[in-house]
Amino acid sequence: MTQSSRQQGCTDSRIAGGRAPLPRTRIARLRARAVARLTTRDPQFLRRVTTDFPFADEAAAQRTVDIATTFLVGYNLIAGGADAPAARDRATEVPRFFRPFYFEGAAMGFGPFALRTGGGLGGFEDFARALSPATVYQNYVGFGWWLGTFYRGRAGRVARVVAELDPRYGLLCYEGIGFRQGFMSGGRRTRPTDIRRGDVPATHVWYQGYGRSLWFVHMGDTAAAARSALRVPEPYVGDCISGLGTGVAFSWLDRAADYARFYQAVPERFRAEFDQGLSFGWEARQLADRELFDASLRCLPAPVVADVDERVGDVHEVRDALVAAGDHTDFYNAWRRGVVRRRRSGKPLFPAR
């Protein structure tokens, strides 16, 4: 290296023809700006995605847009440079009903956050606990969105990340991947993505997420969403109907008087799976904000509210029995199957009139 080139800062003696190394602080700033530019999304793009969705009515259409926009608010905040405590503090600016969707988006933002900080994806669960432990289910789903986006077509990479997560919830990342596929395609792409060949447990959870997306595509019209669910391969129809139930319970809580109508619109042979999905959705909702959950159910008759509470209790009992048994093999699907069995052997939530 010549004296003049040292003065001009043109080359690095360690790399032939290379640029002089930048100070670490400047590298960090450049990386942060680059990651933000590549990963933040304009919420208006969602209107293009949802333009052709066959919503039941304008109110249902607005509900999907409001949820998706709130999701992106959380995501963009973390992707753009905020950390978990900052996102938690900003949550008070979001209406209570929509806050879990905000945290789900923020959990998705952990992907670009990890790229920006260089901390690696292994820190996700610590990040999620600092962000919002009360939205544990949504956190894993949101992380799955990122994995399905960043590692698209690389099923092995996704599987290695999921394998390091809490076995009770890790498979929910595939729920997020399935939801993303269904939502972004308007329910048209039914083939699982980003799953290793032969990984049946992940496939079941992927289809649960896909089924949940059908509710957002057909928001307000359970019958149409159920018809779409029937088009997937037969072994996974129940998973789709389960996801449909989760979507209904979670996103329609403030309009709980419609639950009975939605329940009756599901084919009878799949109502146990739909009921299980409702149960998981209610469990997630009450964990996120019990006060809001209780207030939202006051429009229902007292016996129905008692049945809802019983279902949330069943979710806890089945989970706790699996934990006590010490077998974490395919934990999430075993959890779902245990609740489905209880729903099949019990009385229907809304008996036929």
Predicted pLDDT of residue 33: 57
Question: Pick from 98, 116, 101, 90: which is nearest to 38 by CA?
Answer: 116
Q: Which helix (H) or strand (E) holds 239?
A: helix 237-251
Looking at residue 40, its pLDDT comes to 60
Question: What are the residue ranges spanned by the domains of the chain?
Answer: 45-345
How much is the pTM? Answer: 0.88
What's the pLDDT tens digit per position in 267-294? 999 999 999 999 999 999 999 999 999 9
The single residue listed with the structure tokens 């394998």 is 163
Instruction: Tell me the pLDDT band of 35, cut-offs 50, 70 and 90.
Output: low
pLDDT digits (tens, 9 = 90+) for 217-234: 999 999 999 999 999 999
pLDDT number for residue 6:
36
Give the per-residue pLDDT at 17: 32
Tracing tokens 């639950």 back to the chain, one arrives at 259
Residue entry with tokens 């996103």: 251
